[in-house]
Amino acid sequence: MTSALRPVTRADLPKFHTVMMAAGMDARSSWSRTTVADLEHSLFGVGAGGFLAWAGAEAVGCVGFRPDGSHTLTLNKLATLPNARAQGIGAALVRAVEDLAAEQGFRRVLLAVSQFNLEVIPFYERLGYVQDSAAVYAHASPQSPKPVVLVKEQL
């Protein structure tokens, strides 16, 4: 499956939401309670945005980002449809955020992994992210257990 990436628009929010919900996140995660209105707030705040991966007319992957201060761009909401996994789509979405971070002068990309989704940590580690127990994820849900924070310093 080949995919094309493009920035998310407000009209894409229902498709972005559908991809997130199809990802199969544990029901205990705050992720599973995300609404389209939450996405609009998260993806269209100052300096924020996201990308959708498309296979033809079907959205098959998504990722969001938002600044956390002047040095850190936070990556969030990375998901691919189950039938589109293991094809490089997730890695391409992460690289798109990293490229944007570098273009905009951010020194690092930070992300948080839910305690209910720890099996994805090796994926991020293969992409060069390292766990950082001192780093703070500014957008953590107070109703969820403390996430595992990973960071990739920009070159």
Q: What is the mean pLDDT of residues 53-65?
A: 92
pLDDT tens for each residue of 6-40: 999 999 999 999 998 888 766 666 666 778 888 89
Is the model's pTM score more than 0.85? Answer: yes
The whole-angstrom separation of Cα 110 and Cα 95 is 13
Q: Is-contact 136 80, C-beta < 8 A?
A: no
Query: What is the SS3 assignment for 22-68?
Result: HCCCCCCCHHHHCCHHHHHHHHCCCCCEEEEEEECCEEEEEEEEEEC
Give residue 35's identity as a one-letter amino acid code. T
Q: How confident is the model at residue 26, as a pLDDT?
A: 65
Average pLDDT over the chain reads 85
pLDDT at 155: 47
Q: Which residues contact 41 (CB under 8 A, 6 or more apart)?
A: none
The better pLDDT of the pair 154, 47 is held by: 47
CATH class label, 4-153: alpha beta
